Amino acid sequence: MRADERRRLGVGRLINLHEDDGVFDRTFWGEIPPHQRLEALWDMTLDFLALQGHGGDQPRLQRSVCRVERRER
């Protein structure tokens, strides 16, 4: 079975929390092309923002402005 067919069906593994060595995740994501990984990451980001109550517009980078002045002694 190809990687895209497995993803469509779903892939899972049941383990205890302290027994996770990360091999399953590395194998799963390693079989997915980089552009599809980025698409999945963006989808997860939008889902997270929706759960936090941020909806509507596309998220933007946070812009902070700070001014530092040197005081004379």
Q: Mind listing the pLDDT tens digit for each residue in 36-46?
A: 999 988 888 88
Six token digits for residue 43: 């989808």
Residue 2, pLDDT above cutoff 80: no
Percent of the chain's residues with pLDDT above 90: 5
Which single residue is written with the structure tokens 């079989």? Answer: 31
- pLDDT for 3 equals 62
User: How far lies 43's CA from each of 32, 40, 48, in Å?
Assistant: 15, 5, 9
pLDDT in tens, 45-71: 888 888 888 766 677 777 788 888 888
